């Protein structure tokens, strides 16, 4: 286990005061999740039913693929479609059937709702039902909302996964289910780790093939790999699964505590746990030390964006010696961060939601060494002289687990290093 004596003491925050704000917010919508979900599930296609704005967002976030046929697209509703919703339904069915004829590799089609008013009037659940009657068993059609009115940034993943839960076969087998999209390389590392600890069988959700979701049942222990899949985990609990409470696997300490939650459930002997994890902890710590000198003692401010803010602030505070001035989160799901909250320093302000002008006032008054924020705010804040880090980079880069701990620290250390070089 991590030597906790070397880390800051656990904060005594049992009832955390939370600053709740409801105002204008600067957060991506849930469509963004398609960027990493389409890479993960190789047999799935994500069809956004939306406007040109949605198409533009998803194309610029995912990049335009020239050499590969993309597994996402946008069915753009125009004024003509508003003439009659029956026509719009026919048009949607026609687009889906044409797409699936052209792409026989697609086994699961996600219809993703967005927020223009004409899209909201379309019943995508009914459209999925209609198409399933035509297309099953070759292709299954699911639907979820990525609308900016209903979802923030990472909630799109939660909605997509929750839509898949009813497809999971029942099982009574004791098994571990890791929930949250991880890069394949990270998934393989964790799989080897669980194997060495004698924990299994282990399934990952989302799976690499959407058409083969893992089973679930009353002997399923769920370990969350991402803090934003609360609705999915509650849907799994309704199928009998139990959530293991643990911090998220960021940094050496977080990863050890995360693995320990599964090890406790499988009653892995302490000496076996220590023998398996010690070399990896050692490597991770050595990788972290390289960046600590750039980060220790520095003050960091998180604006709400990805839902990763709380676990990442905990990592930066406890393992890198940073002081989180304010941790903003789009929404606070207490069940999902129950093991994280007591690890935050008592001096931090925890804010939920956003009133962007007020938060920017607090940010300027605090003048932190590093601000973690969305793309839209980063450039203006840089122009004001604040060092920033794009939170989207933390979602797109593999940062979980021991082997990635150094890369994670480097993401935060880079702006500080760059500034230090510019000052020379
Ligand atoms: S879903 Fe809404 S917020 Fe997201 S890109 Fe489309 S119009 Fe914009």
Q: Quote the ligand 1 centre to 58 CA distance (angstroms).
A: 9
Please tell me the predicted confidence (pLDDT) of residue 71: 85
Which band of pLDDT confidence, cut at 50, 70 and 90, is reported for residue 2?
very low
Mean pLDDT value across residues 84-107? 87
Q: Quote the ligand 1 centre to 379 CA distance (angstroms).
A: 22
The whole-angstrom separation of Cα 364 and Cα 360 is 6
pLDDT over threshold 70, residue 246:
yes
pLDDT over threshold 70, residue 74:
yes
Tens-digit pLDDT profile for residues 360-399: 999 999 999 999 998 889 999 999 999 999 988 899 899 9
115 lines ligand 1 (CB under 6 A): yes
The whole-angstrom separation of Cα 8 and Cα 194 is 28
Please tell me the predicted confidence (pLDDT) of residue 5: 43
pLDDT over threshold 50, residue 350:
yes
Please tell me the predicted confidence (pLDDT) of residue 184: 96
Please tell me the predicted confidence (pLDDT) of residue 14: 53
More confident residue, 68 or 175: 175
Mean pLDDT value across residues 242-253? 98
54 lines ligand 1 (CB under 6 A): yes
pLDDT over threshold 50, residue 3:
no
- Which of 253, 113, 139, 231 shows the shortest CA–CA distance to 180? 231
Tens-digit pLDDT profile for residues 142-174: 999 999 988 988 999 999 999 999 999 999 999
pLDDT over threshold 90, residue 226:
yes
Query: CB within 8 A of 19, min separation 6: which ones?
Result: 349, 350, 351, 352
pLDDT over threshold 90, residue 180:
yes
pLDDT over threshold 60, residue 408:
yes
The whole-angstrom separation of Cα 97 and Cα 83 is 22
Cβ-contact 348, 313 below 8 angstroms: yes
148 lines ligand 1 (CB under 6 A): yes
Q: Quote the ligand 1 centre to 141 CA distance (angstroms).
A: 22
Ligand 1 atom closest to the Cα of residue 56 is 5
Q: Quote the ligand 1 centre to 227 CA distance (angstroms).
A: 23
Please tell me the predicted confidence (pLDDT) of residue 64: 55
Helix H or strand E encompassing 142:
strand 140-145
CA 187 from chain centre, in angstroms, equals 14
Burial class (CB in 10 A: 0-12, 13-18, 19+), 216: buried
> Which of 35, 51, 59, 62 best tests ligand 1's pocket when mutated (most atoms within 8 Å of CB)?
51
More confident residue, 80 or 186: 186
Q: Residue of the nearest CA to atom 6 in ligand 1? A: 54
180 lines ligand 1 (CB under 6 A): no
Q: Quote the ligand 1 centre to 22 CA distance (angstroms).
A: 19
> Which of 52, 53, 75 best tests ligand 1's pocket when mutated (most atoms within 8 Å of CB)?
53
Six-digit token pair at 339? 């093991």
More confident residue, 350 or 75: 350
Tens-digit pLDDT profile for residues 327-341: 999 999 999 999 999
Please tell me the predicted confidence (pLDDT) of residue 424: 53
29 lines ligand 1 (CB under 6 A): yes
- Strand segments, DSSP code E, in 261-386 are 299-302, 323-329, 349-354, 370-373
The 3-state secondary structure of 204-229 reads EECCCCCCCCCCECCCEEEEECCCCC
- Which of 389, 302, 402, 386 shows the shortest CA–CA distance to 352? 302
33 lines ligand 1 (CB under 6 A): no
The whole-angstrom separation of Cα 210 and Cα 107 is 8
Burial class (CB in 10 A: 0-12, 13-18, 19+), 148: buried
Please tell me the predicted confidence (pLDDT) of residue 116: 78
Please tell me the predicted confidence (pLDDT) of residue 355: 94
What are the φ/ψ torsions at residue 64 (nearest 5 degrees)? -90, 125
- Which of 323, 31, 41 shows the shortest CA–CA distance to 156? 31
- Which of 330, 308, 327, 306 shows the shortest CA–CA distance to 370? 327
Dmax over CA atoms of the chain, in Å, equals 69
Mean pLDDT value across residues 401-421? 89
Q: Quote the ligand 1 centre to 69 CA distance (angstroms).
A: 23
> Which of 32, 76, 116, 118 best tests ligand 1's pocket when mutated (most atoms within 8 Å of CB)?
116
The helix/strand/coil state of 116 is: coil
34 lines ligand 1 (CB under 6 A): no
Highest mean pLDDT among 30-34, 39-43, 220-224: 220-224
| Percent of the residues in the chain that have a pLDDT greater than 70, as a whole number | 92
Average pLDDT, the chain: 91
């Amino acid at each position: 286990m991590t030597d906790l004596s070397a880390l800051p003491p656990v904060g005594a925050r049992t009832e955390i005061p939370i600053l709740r704000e409801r105002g204008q917010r600067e957060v991506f919508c849930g469509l963004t999740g398609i960027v990493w979900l389409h890479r993960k599930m190789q047999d799935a296609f994500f069809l956004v039913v939306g406007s040109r704005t949605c198409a533009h967002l998803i194309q610029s976030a995912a990049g335009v693929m020239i050499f590969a046929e993309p597994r996402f697209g946008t069915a753009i509703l125009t004024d003509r479609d508003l003439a009659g919703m029956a026509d719009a339904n026919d048009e949607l069915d026609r687009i889906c059937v044409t797409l699936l004829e052209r792409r026989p590799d697609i086994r699961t089609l996600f219809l993703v709702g967005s927020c223009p008013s004409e899209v909201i009037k379309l019943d995508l659940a009914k459209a999925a039902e209609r198409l399933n009657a035509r297309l099953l068993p070759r292709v299954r059609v699911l639907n979820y909302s990525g609308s900016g009115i209903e979802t923030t940034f990472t909630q799109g993943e939660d909605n997509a996964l929750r839509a898949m839960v009813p497809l999971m076969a029942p099982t009574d087998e004791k098994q571990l289910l890791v929930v949250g999209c991880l890069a394949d390389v990270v998934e393989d590392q964790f799989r080897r780790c669980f194997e060495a600890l004698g924990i299994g069988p282990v399934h990952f959700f989302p799976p690499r093939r959407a058409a083969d979701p893992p089973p679930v049942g009353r002997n399923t222990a769920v370990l969350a790999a991402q803090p934003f899949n609360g609705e999915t985990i509650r849907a799994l609990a309704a199928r009998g699964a139990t959530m293991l409470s643990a911090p998220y696997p960021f940094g050496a300490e977080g990863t050890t505590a995360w693995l320990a939650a599964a090890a406790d459930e499988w009653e892995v002997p302490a000496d076996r746990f220590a023998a398996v994890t010690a070399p990896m902890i050692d490597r991770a710590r050595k990788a972290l030390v390289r960046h600590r000198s750039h980060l220790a003692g520095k003050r960091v401010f998180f604006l709400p964006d990805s839902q990763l803010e709380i676990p990442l602030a905990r990592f930066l505070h406890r393992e890198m010696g940073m002081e989180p001035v304010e941790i903003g989160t789009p929404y606070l799901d207490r069940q999902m961060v129950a093991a994280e909250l007591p690890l935050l320093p008592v001096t931090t302000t925890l804010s939920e939601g956003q009133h962007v002008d007020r938060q920017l006032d607090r940010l300027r008054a605090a003048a932190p060494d590093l601000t973690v924020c969305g793309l839209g705010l980063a450039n203006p804040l840089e122009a004001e002289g604040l060092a920033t880090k794009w939170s989207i980079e933390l979602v797109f880069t593999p940062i979980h687990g021991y082997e990635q701990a150094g890369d994670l620290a480097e993401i935060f250390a880079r702006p500080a290093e760059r500034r230090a070089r510019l000052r020379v």
